[in-house]
Structure 1
Amino acid sequence: MDDSFDEDCDYLFKAVLIGDSAVGKSNLLSRFSKNEFRLDSKPTIGVEFAYRNIRVGDKLIKAQIWDTAGQERFRAITSSYYRGALGALLVYDITRQKTFENVKKWLKELREFGNPEMVVVLVGNKSDLGQSSREVNEEDGKGLAEKEGLCFMETSALENLNVEEAFLNMVTKIHEITIQKNLQAKLLVANDQYQTPTSLKSKQIIHIDSDHEVSATKHTGYCCST
């Protein structure tokens, strides 16, 4: 890990937090970026974002995490919010069944406006509240994640349980995909040197901006190890 912002980063990855209002998105972000938690956290108005530098292998990655209000009246910012995002934490509250039911609505929005290769982690937050308050079983969260091709993890921003792991799984997977795309692009360039102009016309070229985002191509979902 490296929280210094003065070093040159190898990659800048944008990721977003989505989910219903009051599921704990802002506290997950503040716990991850500043190791802080506020019991009196107020609803997010519009968009806020924070940075965190992360070292993956020998690469330094700056994760830019965007947090938005879950209320419907702020959804006009949707398209710009998702633009360029390579990852998402889709958060629900394990003590409120409705927030889990709305996950499918958020997935629909994500797939309409987001990169089709986006790494998505389904997060059941507020696991500290215990079984007596729980309305969504962990098995239900896992089942939905498997069905939709998502990563899955239960977290507690209050107790700092699995918060780091959820974000790091997402960032690490984005990094793996980016490296794979870079390798594919290099192989295409190498192969093109031996192609005739006619054969080049039928070849798909993948364009990469390795410091910011990977061009979108259709791919199946990814699942992080938990």
Structure 2
Amino acid sequence: MYSTKPTSVNNKERISTKKKKDFNLKFIVIGDSRVGKTTLVEKYCGCHETGNNKNNNNHLYFHHTVTDKDWSCNLKIFDTAGQERYRSVTSSYYRGANGCIIAFDLSQETSFVNLENWYNDMLNYCNSSDVSVVLVGIQREGRERIVSTDRAQKFSDYLNLPYVEVNVDNQSEINDVFDNLAKNVVQRIQSREPVATMSTFTTTNLSKLVVKTESRFGCSCC
């Protein structure tokens, strides 16, 4: 995890800080409505302290800074602001994204099955060589889990994407998702290499895979 706000800077640290490389990155968070996307972003950014903004396309976006000893990231994290309910998320939302979180609710079967649509949208609207992607399963206290870790992992393995699960009440887990994605993007930019996990994929129909994983691992409540 990375510290977002240095607590003190002495002269030696000040000299070192000047040598840091600054990055301005755009992250997008996609997935079905009411799976917890906004909650993740708000908790990560501490939006009640920093506030949020709205751009001309009516997409909410939040600011956050991630720092490492060698670099600093100014993140602009975009939320769909409820537009996903009407399938009205346009190409402008995806354009220029460096990082993408595809989220689903572990207690909602439909949100898992619909990952196919969101993944294909991301491929259609983003430059696959410029964006790093992570699949995130969201767990909420008091809700019965429907999608097993095995099913979700099988799906993410097929797409060759990293998969993580987070509890919306665990700040550390939420921070790790965004911080690690930022680190991945910076490393990719610094190496000037395309994202291998995305370069070999094209838009496809993944419905059969979802059904196949269900039969292989048993019922969805396993």
Q: Does 1:34 align with 2:79?
A: no
Partner of 1:138: 149
Does the 8 A contact of 2:139 with 2:167 survive in 1?
Answer: yes
Cα gap change, 1:129/1:141 in structure 2, threshold over 3 Å: closer, same or farther?
farther
Partner of 2:162: 151
- Would you say how many aligned residue pairs link Structure 1 and Structure 2? 175
Cα gap change, 1:218/1:90 in structure 2, threshold over 3 Å: closer, same or farther?
closer
Q: Does 1:174 align with 2:179?
A: no
Q: 2: CA distance between counterparts of 1:67 and 1:35?
A: 12
Partner of 1:97: 109
Q: 2: CA distance between counterparts of 1:59 and 1:161?
A: 21
Cα gap change, 1:83/1:35 in structure 2, threshold over 3 Å: closer, same or farther?
closer
AA in 1 matched with 2:37: K
Q: 2: CA distance between counterparts of 1:161 and 1:151?
A: 18
Cα gap change, 1:167/1:83 in structure 2, threshold over 3 Å: closer, same or farther?
same
Q: 2:61 aligns with which of 49, 53, 61?
A: 49
Does the 8 A contact of 2:188 with 2:195 survive in 1?
Answer: no
Higher Cα Rg, which structure: 1
| Stretch of structure 1 that moved more, 53-62 or 79-88 | 53-62
Does the 8 A contact of 1:20 with 1:71 survive in 2?
Answer: yes
Q: 1: CA distance between counterparts of 2:159 and 2:186?
A: 21
Distance apart, 1:57 and its partner CA = 3.2
Distance apart, 1:137 and its partner CA = 0.3
Over residues 201-221 of structure 1, what are the superposed CA-to-partner deviations in whole Å (9 max), with x where a residue is unaligned? xxxxxxxxxxxxxxxx67434
Partner SS state of residue 21, structure 1: coil
What pairs up with 1:51-200 in 2 under 5 angstroms?
A: 51-68=63-80, 69-73=82-86, 75=88, 77-117=89-129, 118-129=131-142, 133-160=144-171, 162-181=173-192
Cα gap change, 1:93/1:82 in structure 2, threshold over 3 Å: closer, same or farther?
same
Q: 2: CA distance between counterparts of 1:35 and 1:48?
A: 11
Distance apart, 1:63 and its partner CA = 1.2
AA in 2 matched with 1:138: T
Over residues 108-162 of structure 1, what are the superposed CA-to-partner deviations in whole Å (9 max), with x where a residue is unaligned? 00000012031111010125346xx011001111111111011111112233351
Over residues 151-174 of structure 1, what are the superposed CA-to-partner deviations in whole Å (9 max), with x where a residue is unaligned? 111112233351111111111100
Does the 8 A contact of 1:124 with 1:153 survive in 2?
Answer: yes
CA-based RMSD of the aligned residues comes to: 2.5
Q: 2: CA distance between counterparts of 1:23 and 1:89?
A: 12
AA in 2 matched with 1:94: L
Partner SS state of residue 50, structure 1: strand
TM-score (norm 1): 0.70
Distance apart, 1:72 and its partner CA = 4.1
Q: How many percent identity over aligned positions?
A: 23
Q: 1:220 aligns with which of 176, 187, 197?
A: 197
TM-score (norm 2): 0.71
Segments of 4+ in structure 1 off by > 4 A?
none
Q: 2: CA distance between counterparts of 1:143 and 1:149?
A: 10
Unaligned ranges ≥5, structure 2: 7-16, 49-56, 200-222
Does the 8 A contact of 2:136 with 2:165 survive in 1?
Answer: yes
AA in 2 matched with 1:171: A
Q: 2: CA distance between counterparts of 1:49 and 1:140?
A: 31
Partner SS state of residue 168, structure 2: coil
